Amino acid sequence: MSLTLTALVASITVFVLAIFLGFELISKVPPTLHTPLMSGANAISGITIVGALILSNSEFHNGNPGLSAWLAFAALVMATINVVGGFMVTNRMLEMIAGKKNRKKGGH
Amino acid sequence: MSLTLTALVASITVFVLAIFLGFELISKVPPTLHTPLMSGANAISGITIVGALILSNSEFHNGNPGLSAWLAFAALVMATINVVGGFMVTNRMLEMIAGKKNRKKGGH
Amino acid sequence: MVDPVVSDIGYLVSAALFLLGIKRLSSPKTAPQGNRLGAYGMLLAVLVTMAKMYNEGIIGLELIAGGLALGTIIGAWMAIRVEMTGLPELVALFNGFGGGASALVGLSEVLGRIHNGDVPSPGIELYATWVAIGLSGLVGWLTLTGSLMAMGKLKGGFYIPLTKKDDRGRRKWVNFPTWGPPWLNFVKGSLLVASLALICMTIQEPENTDYIYAIAGLSGLLGILFVLPIGGADMPVVVSLLNSMSGIAAAFTGFVIGNNVLIIAGSMVGAAGLILTFIMCKAMNRTLPAVLFKSFGGGGKETVTRTKVGSDPEEVAMVCDGISKCVIIPGYGMAVSQAQHAVKEFADLLEAEDVEVSYGIHPVAGRMPGHMNVLLAEANVPYEQLIEMDEINSELPECDVAIVIGANDTVNPVARSGEGPLGGMPIIDADKARVVVIIKRSLSVGYAGVDNDLFYEDKTMMLFGDGKKMMNELNAAFKDL
Amino acid sequence: MVDPVVSDIGYLVSAALFLLGIKRLSSPKTAPQGNRLGAYGMLLAVLVTMAKMYNEGIIGLELIAGGLALGTIIGAWMAIRVEMTGLPELVALFNGFGGGASALVGLSEVLGRIHNGDVPSPGIELYATWVAIGLSGLVGWLTLTGSLMAMGKLKGGFYIPLTKKDDRGRRKWVNFPTWGPPWLNFVKGSLLVASLALICMTIQEPENTDYIYAIAGLSGLLGILFVLPIGGADMPVVVSLLNSMSGIAAAFTGFVIGNNVLIIAGSMVGAAGLILTFIMCKAMNRTLPAVLFKSFGGGGKETVTRTKVGSDPEEVAMVCDGISKCVIIPGYGMAVSQAQHAVKEFADLLEAEDVEVSYGIHPVAGRMPGHMNVLLAEANVPYEQLIEMDEINSELPECDVAIVIGANDTVNPVARSGEGPLGGMPIIDADKARVVVIIKRSLSVGYAGVDNDLFYEDKTMMLFGDGKKMMNELNAAFKDL
Ligand SMILES: NC(=O)c1ccc[n+]([C@@H]2O[C@H](COP(=O)([O-])OP(=O)(O)OC[C@H]3O[C@@H](n4cnc5c(N)ncnc54)[C@H](OP(=O)(O)O)[C@@H]3O)[C@@H](O)[C@H]2O)c1
Ligand SMILES: NC(=O)c1ccc[n+]([C@@H]2O[C@H](COP(=O)([O-])OP(=O)(O)OC[C@H]3O[C@@H](n4cnc5c(N)ncnc54)[C@H](OP(=O)(O)O)[C@@H]3O)[C@@H](O)[C@H]2O)c1
């Protein structure tokens, strides 16, 4: 994983573009959606789970997990909680807000 | 300039992000600004001038410009017209629309 | 040879799904779909990573499977078990976990590299990686401790275990501290500068783990001090800001392990979270610096000295008989006592008598944005009857009875004076109605800790008691009329 | 060693400037700044490129300096010399140059590589580069020929040189053809498919230049056929779409030469241009497929059979004396005759008599969006007096005199019937005013080629003649009253 300058600059380019994109994505959010949006975005920031997965697999010494493997394991647990819990709880909130309306449409 | 797969995918990533960004950038434009916006964006698409510059410098054979150098030259002229003319004409339009207002504020 | 491209493209698709997810989450109709898209994106990213690892040979299978299983069980259990009133705390907690995970990944990477002697020689790789590790640690640990603080503040406090139970059967309750003298801002600034200096020093001595741990310690402390002075009422804004930071931490982690999807998703969440923070500040009528650097609200409860004679359900039922327009204004108390179903029943009773019923929803009623909407939707209140603040305020002067259930700050007329902790917050003008009925357990103050003159007005009838119980009694009384 | 990074960062900054430029261009207050940011971004990109070339050794200095100088002179000269009425054509022309430049860069690269024997062996590099070259050619040539066609159509036609001059001293004028039987869509489809097939074939035989030239030929033809069936009135939409394409072409060129700033700027313009295209369609009350695949408007002028007695300036001046509200509705004719200053003078005269004057601006009056605003701003008409269509329509029933100067389609009541080329286009309800004065040279039709019943109504006074001349005479008559 040796890092070249060009690769770094490419990563920075992606970083900058994504930041701009994030700014543009959200413009007007009705108050009802503030919490679900926050919660959903939070779940997405659990993407760090990818890093935790990779390190949980690589940081072994002679087949035994070392300190850093256990740290990666802790990271994996935390990230998974964040991801699974985050999306589920967001879903629950949204079902409360929007789901009911839909069910009503069908029912009445 | 040998192209690796990783570099290609990185470029595609940038491409996709920039397209999304372009979509998000413009949401509501008052009719008055349709033409200046079109004209300004057009000037920006003259960025191909960078490519024309690079090729105008590289496509030489034994110090003499070959066909492809002349093509690059033609591209350079066209792109420069697009860029210079485009920004100037946009500026003229905008001065008509906005500049007058400002001058008025100062004047009256 | 083709494999890495497939996985890169998989990551790109998952980034696009996140993007669409965030976008859809911000509009009412598409929000559930947005959340699903985000989840699919995450699933894809995990699967792609697993496939990649499988290709390269899995050595830590137990660790991975165990971690995923454990995290899934805990996360799902928390998400299912949580009560609606506990949602904001849970979001804060999850957010802290996200930040912590990013910090841990960075830590794990640096320790692993040092242990394996894989520290790059001075040059661009060392600088970039170590700076990214330092920054992901700084932002990540800060997010973790800050979010835990925020969670505590959102709960408002905690019961001290083992203390004597009072007459209502509850143990001693202490409020979560809110404390922040002006000089604390200097301390916070110094901590930040010190952490950044430490990051520079890690570059000089990349093998020295002390610096890494010092960064963790300082930034953890910074997170605590950051949230300490902020009042509970401002917590949603703080959580949103911390959410933005956990995104940034993930993006830095992406630089550490050289993965674009982390960079894209993380920085997108970081930017979107920041915008959302500003939007929320605006909805609460505050500025971000005011929220962050001036302590406010949620702290010491004022002692109530004035008194007011309570009314009873029968009297209120009589007042409500034969009116033509009633506005119900719910607040945090309705959420705590789970009174929404009883409220809906009351509204049905009134509507059967041809009374026009609507609900006045204050944007920050309850403890999280949209709290009331969620609860009332759960009780099947038609969406059209939920009226936003500005609109209901123009209707209230023609309203016969305003029923305020468990709300306090959001109807406190002192806000109009522009002074004190509530100063300038827009409120629902309940006091413009002909008669105001207020259902709460006592005359005590609300979140911001400010006394409410509305209770003592002549046109106000106080109905003291638990929200749900009083609503049920009111319904019974109304049926008996 | 550090140099390439500096230049990469320079490119990144310039991409960010483009981004901010586009964003600011879409809002009235920030638009001039947006344009400037875009120009700075371009300047930066050019400087960075030159610095990079300087580092690597400049060999084509004469070529580069000559090309830049020539392009700058021509571009600046065109931009300065153009009259306001000619703006849309010029934008179309510039756009075509942009597309052509991208196509030429691709062509130059591929010919250079073949000549130098630098064709990669089959593999990812060959595929990616050759596909990018093919696509940049396809889109680029199409943009070039399509934009030239669009330019011709925006002019409306051309004088045939060397023909006999008529009594007004003008040579014979032919309209630009608009022709598109339904089967033409099949032809266009086949051309597109054939071009794509050719791109696939270039990968098989990368050294075969015939394919490259064939792509250029086919896509050039495609551009012509693409614009041929579309009526002049829809040209701004087409130019906007072509603008989007020239951005895409630049992005593909970025893949060819492996430069991110081209990719970012190009694809951003491509996407933003597409959105703008939809916005413009909406403003003209049409859908994009309807614009592109059904021919409409701008074609054959109908012969006028009915007659109407003209009025004279003195009569109109008398009608305008003592009224209280006057609405001026300008159109293309005001632009052609440069009557805006005379119009403003007339408005001043009326205002001196305490008449309330406002201007009714139709979104597609003239030949480009915002055409009227630009002209009237040039004549120092206060911005507040320019009223948009919907708003002025609610005022027109109380208006004493509506002065229509050089407008036709935009006030044609037949649009309300929903039939014919104008069917469904929202119009300014000039016919609701008490008296309508129409200033134009004849009874002939406007852009869409549809006869206008408004001319023949009793309340309508026709003032036949060149717009500027008639306005000046009207001003003189009004002063003489
Ligand atoms: N929505 C958000 O995003 C958010 C987040 C955090 C903080 N805040 C802040 O929270 C406040 C919200 O205002 P609000 O008017 O909704 O609530 P509030 O001002 O906090 O008042 C709630 C009232 O409900 C009463 N109550 C508590 N439990 C009850 C029960 N079981 N039955 C009946 N009543 C009960 C309490 O009085 P008794 O003790 O006398 O019963 C209390 O005065 C604002 O200050 C806002 O800034 C909002
Ligand atoms: N704004 C845009 O984006 C745009 C772009 C392209 C096309 N269009 C289309 O253009 C039309 C615009 O409508 P419009 O009402 O502004 O214009 P119009 O319908 O094209 O009518 C203009 C009228 O001005 C008269 N005129 C021409 N030269 C004149 C002169 N020197 N002095 C006085 N009158 C003169 C012409 O009549 P005489 O020959 O009798 O003088 C003509 O009937 C719409 O159909 C629109 O869709 C708009």
Chain D within 8 Å of B6 (Cβ-Cβ)?
Answer: no
Whether D448 is in the pocket of ligand 2, judged by its Cβ within 6 Å, is: yes
Best of A9, A11, A23, A27 to disrupt the D interface by mutation (most D CBs within 10 Å)?
A9
The rounded distance, in Å, linking the Cα atoms of D155 and D358 is 30
Chain B within 8 Å of A64 (Cβ-Cβ)?
Answer: no
In order of C96, C217, C324, D7, D36, the CA distances from C145 in angstroms are 7, 10, 52, 40, 45
What number is the average pLDDT over the span C20-24? 93
3-state secondary structure D347-379: HHHHHHCCCEEEEEECCCCCCCCCHHHHHHHHC
What spacing in Å lies between the alpha carbon of C440 and ligand 1's midpoint? 10
E strand or H helix that includes residue C464: strand C460-464
What number is the average pLDDT over the span D340-352? 93
Look over chain C and give the mean of its residue pLDDT values, rounded to a whole number. Answer: 87
Confidence of residue D295 (pLDDT cuts 50, 70, 90): low
Q: Is the pLDDT of residue C373 over 50?
A: yes
Range scoring the smallest mean pLDDT among A59-73, C311-325, D68-82, D304-318: A59-73
Give the total residue count for chain D: 481
Give me the amino acid identity at C260: N
Would you state the pLDDT for residue A101? 47
Chain B within 8 Å of D5 (Cβ-Cβ)?
Answer: no
Would you state the pLDDT for residue D178? 75
Chain C within 8 Å of B6 (Cβ-Cβ)?
Answer: yes
Q: Which residue has the higher pLDDT, C290 or B71?
A: B71
For B5, the closest of C5, C15, C260 (CB atoms) is C5
| Interface contact flag, C263 A15, Cβ < 8 Å | yes
Look over chain A and give the mean of its residue pLDDT values, rounded to a whole number. Answer: 82
Whether C408 is in the pocket of ligand 1, judged by its Cβ within 6 Å, is: yes
Q: Are the C-beta atoms of residues A69 and C63 closer than 8 Å to each other?
A: yes
Q: Is the pLDDT of residue C8 over 90?
A: no
The rounded distance, in Å, linking the Cα atoms of D374 and D74 is 24
Report chain B's C-alpha Rg in angstroms: 20
Query: Considering only alpha carbons, which residue of chain D is nearest residue B103?
Result: D380
Would you state the pLDDT for residue D153? 83
What number is the average pLDDT over the span D11-33? 91
What number is the average pLDDT over the span C256-278? 92
Confidence of residue B105 (pLDDT cuts 50, 70, 90): very low
User: Which of D142, A88, B68, D130 minimizes the C-alpha distance to C75?
Assistant: A88
Residue B18: list chain C partners with CB under 8 A. Answer: none
What spacing in Å lies between the alpha carbon of D234 and ligand 2's midpoint? 13
Would you state the pLDDT for residue A59? 66
Task: Compute the nearest-CA separation of C406 from chain A (Å).
Answer: 19
What is this structure's pTM? 0.80
B-facing residues of D in 73-102 (CB < 8 A) are 74-76, 78-80, 82, 84, 87-88, 90-91, 94-95, 97-98, 100-102
Query: Considering only alpha carbons, which residue of chain B is nearest residue A10?
Result: B10
Would you state the pLDDT for residue D304? 61
Among the bound ligands, name the one nearest to the CA of residue C89.
1
Range scoring the smallest mean pLDDT among C114-123, C177-186, C328-337, C401-410: C177-186
Residue C67: list chain A partners with CB under 8 A. Answer: 52, 56, 73, 76-77, 80
Task: Compute the nearest-CA separation of B58 from chain A (Å).
Answer: 22
Output the six-digit token pair for D3: 């140099």
| Interface contact flag, C260 B16, Cβ < 8 Å | no
Q: Out of A88-97, C81-90, C213-222, give the one with best mean pLDDT.
A: C213-222
Residue A25: list chain B partners with CB under 8 A. Answer: 24
What number is the average pLDDT over the span C291-311? 65
Confidence of residue D170 (pLDDT cuts 50, 70, 90): low
What spacing in Å lies between the alpha carbon of C384 and ligand 2's midpoint? 47
For D260, the closest of A5, A13, A24 (CB atoms) is A13
The answer to whether C409 is a known catalytic residue is: yes
Pairing of strands A64-65, A60-61: antiparallel
Q: Is the dihedral of CA C333, C337, C341, C346 positive or negative?
A: negative
| Interface contact flag, D45 B59, Cβ < 8 Å | no
Q: Is the pLDDT of residue A46 over 70?
A: yes
Would you state the pLDDT for residue C326? 94
Query: Considering only alpha carbons, which residue of chain B is nearest residue A26?
Result: B24
3-state secondary structure D162-231: CCCCCCCCCCCEEECCCCCCCCHHHHHHHHHHHHHHHHHHHHHCCCCHHHHHHHHHHHHHHHHHHHCCCC
Q: Is the pLDDT of residue C255 over 80?
A: yes
The rounded distance, in Å, linking the Cα atoms of D209 and D123 is 19
Chain B within 8 Å of D55 (Cβ-Cβ)?
Answer: no
Ligand 1 nearest atom to the CA of residue C411, by list position? 15
What number is the average pLDDT over the span D295-307? 55
Give the rounded percent of residues in chain B with a pLDDT score beyond 70: 81
Give the rounded percent of residues in chain C with a pLDDT score beyond 70: 93
Whether C449 is in the pocket of ligand 1, judged by its Cβ within 6 Å, is: no
What number is the average pLDDT over the span C291-303? 56
Q: What is the pLDDT of residues A98-107, one digit of tens each?
A: 644 444 444 4
Residue A12: list chain D partners with CB under 8 A. Answer: 9, 12
Q: What is the pLDDT of residues D21-31, one digit of tens each?
A: 999 998 888 89
Q: Is the pLDDT of residue D118 over 50?
A: yes
What spacing in Å lies between the alpha carbon of D412 and ligand 2's midpoint? 11
User: Probe ligand 2: pick from D168, D447, D468, D472, max atoms within 8 Å of CB?
Assistant: D447
Range scoring the smallest mean pLDDT among C412-416, D66-70, D471-475: C412-416
Would you state the pLDDT for residue C416? 84
Q: What is the pLDDT of residues C53-74, one digit of tens each?
A: 888 888 888 889 999 999 999 9
Among the bound ligands, name the one nearest to the CA of residue D299.
2
Confidence of residue C303 (pLDDT cuts 50, 70, 90): low
Would you state the pLDDT for residue B3? 63
Would you state the pLDDT for residue C169? 66
Would you state the pLDDT for residue D147? 95
Q: Is the pLDDT of residue B26 over 70?
A: yes
Residue B24: list chain C partners with CB under 8 A. Answer: 23
Chain C within 8 Å of B47 (Cβ-Cβ)?
Answer: no
Q: Which residue has the higher pLDDT, C416 or D94?
A: D94
Q: What is the pLDDT of residues C453-473, one digit of tens each?
A: 899 998 999 999 999 999 999
Name residues whose C-beta falls within 8 Å of residue C62's C-beta, 6 or more positions apart in sequence: none
Would you state the pLDDT for residue C304? 60
DSSP structural state of residue D300: P
Confidence of residue B101 (pLDDT cuts 50, 70, 90): very low
Q: Which residue has the higher pLDDT, C250 or D176?
A: C250
Would you state the pLDDT for residue A3? 63
For chain C, how long is the longest CA-to-CA vector? 86
Whether C371 is in the pocket of ligand 1, judged by its Cβ within 6 Å, is: yes
Output the six-digit token pair for D371: 């055409």
3-state secondary structure C415-445: HHHCCCCCCCCCCCCHHHCCEEEEEECCCCC
Range scoring the smallest mean pLDDT among C9-13, C40-44, C106-110, D360-364: D360-364
Would you state the pLDDT for residue B42? 93
What number is the average pLDDT over the span C384-411? 91
Q: Is the pLDDT of residue B96 over 60?
A: yes
Would you state the pLDDT for residue A102? 45
Chain D within 8 Å of A17 (Cβ-Cβ)?
Answer: yes
Chain D within 8 Å of A10 (Cβ-Cβ)?
Answer: yes
Confidence of residue D79 (pLDDT cuts 50, 70, 90): very high
Q: What is the pLDDT of residues B35-88, one digit of tens each?
A: 889 999 999 999 999 999 999 887 666 666 778 889 999 999 999 999 999 999
Would you state the pLDDT for residue D3? 67
Would you state the pLDDT for residue C35? 95
- What secondary structure does DSSP assign to D443-472, as a single string? S---TT----GGGGSTTEEEEES-HHHHHH
Confidence of residue C474 (pLDDT cuts 50, 70, 90): very high
In order of A71, B71, C61, C252, D387, the CA distances from C112 in angstroms are 10, 54, 18, 18, 68
What number is the average pLDDT over the span D389-406? 92
Would you state the pLDDT for residue C178? 75
Residue D239: list chain B partners with CB under 8 A. Answer: 38
Range scoring the smallest mean pLDDT among A76-80, C166-170, D129-133, D183-187: C166-170
Confidence of residue B98 (pLDDT cuts 50, 70, 90): low
| Interface contact flag, A6 D8, Cβ < 8 Å | yes
Q: Out of B16-25, C77-86, D134-143, give the one with best mean pLDDT.
A: D134-143
Burial class (CB within 10 angstroms; exposed 0-12, middle 13-18, buried 19+) of D115? middle
Among the bound ligands, name the one nearest to the CA of residue D448.
2
Q: Which residue has the higher pLDDT, D320 or A64?
A: D320
Q: What is the pLDDT of residues C209-242, one digit of tens each?
A: 899 999 999 999 999 999 988 876 678 889 999 9
Ligand 1 nearest atom to the CA of residue C406, by list position? 24
Residue C1: list chain B partners with CB under 8 A. Answer: 5
Would you state the pLDDT for residue C336? 83
Query: Considering only alpha carbons, which residue of chain C is nearest residue B19?
Result: C16
Range scoring the smallest mean pLDDT among B99-103, C97-101, C167-171, D383-387: B99-103
Would you state the pLDDT for residue C371? 78
Burial class (CB within 10 angstroms; exposed 0-12, middle 13-18, buried 19+) of D309? exposed
For B17, the closest of A6, A7, A14 (CB atoms) is A14
Q: Are the C-beta atoms of residues D376 and B96 closer than 8 Å to each other?
A: no
Would you state the pLDDT for residue D17? 95
Interface size B-D, in CB pairs within 8 Å, comes to: 407
Q: What is the pLDDT of residues C178-189, one digit of tens each?
A: 777 878 888 999
CB neighbourhood size of C418 (10 A): 10
Give the rounded percent of residues in chain D with a pLDDT score beyond 90: 53
Would you state the pLDDT for residue D176? 75
| Interface contact flag, D5 A20, Cβ < 8 Å | no
Whether D373 is in the pocket of ligand 2, judged by its Cβ within 6 Å, is: no
Would you state the pLDDT for residue C83? 77
